[in-house]
Amino acid sequence: MRTDNHSRTWAISLFVALYVLCLTFSGFAAEFKVSRVVDGDTIKVRAASGEITIRLVGIDAPEESHKKREPGQPFSQQSTKNLAGMVLNKSVSIKEYGHDRYGRTLAEVFLDGKNINLEMVDAGFAEVYRGDPALGQDLAPYWKAEEQARAAKRGMWVQGSKYLSPREWRKTQRG
């Protein structure tokens, strides 16, 4: 009898461990409430363990200034407001792609089944991230959305030849 209980306990423990492992690797998490929009590609969400910073993976939004009394990159405030209008104080789900060097969770954010990262690109308030892509993320829809937003001159693309990517703008601010 002792062996049966021990085997049953072991089997249940193994099942629970595998189930949790599957949830972890599926990339999808439970619903989180967005507590703050930091900028056009970063949000904070409330979780049971506290507040989590989410970096919207696959996109790069115009940069806010880190210096007082400086406006930041053109369209940075509009980008932040657009993202806030979509997700602030709402429950979202995320598909996680790991963490960046700053410890932020890299994720695609979904609201009512809609990919918010992709919506930011489509609206012209973010471009496709030009660095190394996240492992497993399909950027094809992002490139298509960026091409369409550019052609329609939506959001930041209205600047035409004066447009400077967030990556290039950051380089000009390091001096």
Residues acting as catalytic residues: 55, 63, 104
What is the CB neighbour count within 10 angstroms for residue 110?
A: 18
DSSP code of 125? S
Q: What are phi and psi of 146, to 5 degrees?
A: -65, -45
Is residue 79 within 8 A of residue 62, CB to CB? The reply is yes
Alpha-carbon span 75 to 62, nearest angstrom: 6
| Dihedral sign of CA atoms 15, 16, 22, 23 in order | positive
Alpha-carbon span 133 to 22, nearest angstrom: 23
